Amino acid sequence: MSIDSTSPDLAAEAPATAAPERRRLTLDLDVDVCVIGAGLAGLTVALETARMGASVAVLESRHVGWNASAHHLGTVMPGYGVAVEDLIERLGVDHTRELWTLSQQGADYVRTTAGGLAGAALQATGALEVSNVDRNARSIGRLRMLRENFGARVEGWQREQVRAALKTQRYFHAVHYSDAFHIDARNYLEGLAVLARQSGVRIFEESPVVSFEASGIRKRIATASARLRAAHIVLAGNVHLGAPSPRLTATLLPVWRYAGITEPLGAGLVEAIGFPGAVMDTDGIDHFRIVEGDRLMWASPETTWAGDPARHSRAIRRRIATVFPTLGKVAVRETWCGTVGQTVHGMPQIGELQPGLWVASGFGRQGLNTTALAGQMIARGILWGDDRWRLFAPFELVWAGGNAGRVAGQLVSGWTRASAAAGGALARWRERAAMREEAREARVAAANRQMAGEGDRPLGP
């Protein structure tokens, strides 16, 4: 991706089919909507507001897709980073159903958009949410809830079915999202940028917003080299927003999530992983899928401080070996990372903070369907006065704790992973103990039958 920083001014004058506008904003500009941030959230808002007839400028600090939005695993499914039963407990069934419908509409939006993009490589292979522990009753409850109350296309997989597909003892039952699908991260984001430009959006890169003034009818936005005036500002900068709104930035815990892709693993890979879609565990630790026939894409390690992705390649190798010992030592060809913004309540921040000032951030690990729904919600809010974004109002901006929060976040993440590992180990130990007990009872029963046949007294337990 090249950045043409020598061009003097507005790329929007270039035809839509020309090379991408990698230009700084150097002239003052007046628009209806100014979007800060060219990730999935910012580009979707920009595209949708432009399609509805607004004049739109996107200001991006670096370049399109340098962060999480072009470095995810591409799994698109309904829902949020918060379990549906937790949402129901907090909001009730009706409110949760509306949120669920929006999340499904977000996934549908990505499907339609990606379907029209040549390189987005949509694969409709489903997703499997596997449980590390044997909590079948909770899983059945969730399944029933999703199917009966929300009309979700999900089915339950029992342990035997899970283990027939995934050759590991670590997973018990699973929820299968049959209409989940996958897209190519970079191509989808680049495609969104092309669609946005074709709809008249002007995207300026290497143009960090340093401040804005949102109190008047016409808001003022400043970069180092130019000024913008706009009726609406959309803050879609995720954890890197920084100076323009330190208070909003402080409501997000930045989490660096690392991913890697292995060298080709041959036929052994499909023997170990006989499911074509994405697999993720309910503790949010591992997320993987087979790509290019016999390579494995795997995301797992997380830190709350920036780390070198190459240094996490060993951790990824270790996770693969732990979950699928039959694969042995695999070679990881490439690693990368992206920073996601985690809110304290786990739900995204979507809505109008004050007249004309909008926020779309905090999408965490599930940012594909949720950024899409945010884009639609905010565009309709701005142009049609649609106030369904208020469904997210219960999830307020809560301070994430600053540096202390990041230290705590790292500790909690380590603790969550350790306790998930301990819970999993305990569940597997219980399973082995139950199997030993069953075998012992079978032996006792066989001995009893034999002795009864011989007219002897039965054995006790």
Ligand X SMILES: Cc1cc2nc3c(=O)[nH]c(=O)nc-3n(C[C@H](O)[C@H](O)[C@H](O)COP(=O)(O)OP(=O)(O)OC[C@H]3O[C@@H](n4cnc5c(N)ncnc54)[C@H](O)[C@@H]3O)c2cc1C
Question: What residues make contact with ligand X under the rule CB under 6 A?
Answer: 36-42, 59-62, 66-69, 71-75, 208-209, 236-238, 240-242, 244, 257, 259, 299, 338, 340, 361, 363-368, 371
Rounded to a whole number of angstroms, the minimum distance from the CB of residue 434 to ligand X is: 35
Question: What helix, strand, coil percent values describe the chain, rounded to 5?
Answer: 40, 25, 35
Task: List 297's β-bridge partners, or say none.
Answer: 261, 289
Closest CA to 373 of 362, 360, 354: 360
Of 170 and 240, which CB lies nearer to ligand X in the complex structure? 240
Rounded to a whole number of angstroms, the minimum distance from the CB of residue 254 to ligand X is: 10
Task: List 222's β-bridge partners, or say none.
Answer: 211, 227
Q: Cβ(130)–Cβ(282) under 8 Å?
A: yes
Of 253 and 427, which CB lies nearer to ligand X in the complex structure? 253
**Alpha-carbon span 298 to 434, nearest angstrom:** 32
Q: Cβ(248)–Cβ(357) under 8 Å?
A: no
Q: Cβ(294)–Cβ(264) under 8 Å?
A: yes
Rounded to a whole number of angstroms, the minimum distance from the CB of residue 91 to ligand X is: 22
Rounded to a whole number of angstroms, the minimum distance from the CB of residue 236 to ligand X is: 6
Rounded to a whole number of angstroms, the minimum distance from the CB of residue 182 to ligand X is: 8
Of 282 and 371, which CB lies nearer to ligand X in the complex structure? 371
Rounded to a whole number of angstroms, the minimum distance from the CB of residue 436 to ligand X is: 39
Q: Write the DSSP string, 348-394.
A: -EEEEEETTEEEEE--TT--HHHHHHHHHHHHHHHHH---GGGGGTT
**Alpha-carbon span 152 to 144, nearest angstrom:** 10
Of 69 and 104, which CB lies nearer to ligand X in the complex structure? 69
Of 134 and 197, which CB lies nearer to ligand X in the complex structure? 197
> Residue 2 corresponds to which tokens in the numbers above?
């090249």
Rounded to a whole number of angstroms, the minimum distance from the CB of residue 251 to ligand X is: 13
Of 337 and 427, which CB lies nearer to ligand X in the complex structure? 337
Of 195 and 427, which CB lies nearer to ligand X in the complex structure? 195
Is the alpha carbon torsion for 233, 238, 242, 245 positive or negative? positive
